[in-house]
Amino acid sequence: MLILAGFLVGVVVGLTGVGGGALMTPLLLLFFGVAPVTAIGTDLWFAAITKMAAGKTHHTKGLIDWQVLHYLWMGSLPVSVIMILLMRGGYIALETSSLKDAVAIAILITAVSMLFQKQLHVIGKDFRLSDAQHFKYWQPTLTVIAGAILGGLVTLTSIGAGAVGVVMLTYLYPLRLTPARLVATDIVHAIPLAMFAGMGHLFIGNIDFGLLGWLLIGSIPGVLIGATLSSKLPQTPLRICIAVVLALVAIRLLA
């Protein structure tokens, strides 16, 4: 069952960039009964390794925008380190109930973001075309801020690098990033971010390596299949279906 779960999540990650945290973490919590701290820590490494396989495929196709990634990493990686230090120092609570609620809220934010992605793209495109000078002036700064938000969210809950990141980039780069480049760039951004956060959780002792191994056996072939098909399948219907599923999962976790 763990291999099957890894495979299915891997396919979704390869197709859309979403699911490394938003789908796997609730699966571990609700279906496999894994403790929240272990689910979050293990899922970060699951997402990092799974997205490495997808990132290689996207890099081969020349779909990654490295300049956008540079701005995202300027925000996300330092914030991830700060969050880990706060967690190790006991300044951020790691109790089961609070972490479960944080995961549920992060999933709900992810679902809402995915549902309104198209509208944000239209707003960003209109702004970009009507006031290009100001829009382009603020793009780098806003991208760094977006990265910082993702760094905090992912480190605390393992969720957000995929769906929330894609939605932010959809608004910030409405003309520059095509759907395929958007997915590819977002996936590669998540790799070092998940590794930074995962390293912190490793030091805290939140990783189950046996669990991680079984998940990766399924996810690596799954993500390669998904990445190969990502430019051939329509993204919008896939994202709406995933958003609805995530919203139901968030409600279940909050219940």
What single-letter amino acid sits at 222?
G
- Identify the top-confidence range among 6-10, 223-227, 238-242: 6-10
Query: What pLDDT does 214 receive?
Result: 96
pLDDT bucket at 3, cuts 50 / 70 / 90? very high
Nearest to 227 by CA among 164, 176, 167, 180: 180
Do 218 and 6 touch, CB atoms closer than 8 A?
A: yes
Do 230 and 14 touch, CB atoms closer than 8 A?
A: yes
Dihedral angle of Cα 38, 43, 49, 51, to the nearest 10 degrees? -170
Q: What is the pLDDT of residues 48-58, one digit of tens each?
A: 888 887 777 77
Tell me which residue range forms the domain holding 101.
2-254
Overall domain count for the chain = 1
Going by C-beta distance under 8 Å and a sequence separation of 6 or more, which residues neighbour residue 201?
37, 40, 41, 44, 84, 207
Q: What is the pLDDT of residues 74-106, one digit of tens each?
A: 999 999 999 988 888 877 766 777 788 888 888
The model carries a pTM of: 0.84
Number of H helices, E strands in the chain: 11, 0
Query: What pLDDT does 221 receive?
Result: 92
| Residue 159, phi then psi, degrees to nearest 5 | -120, 145
Dihedral angle of Cα 16, 20, 24, 25, to the nearest 10 degrees? -130
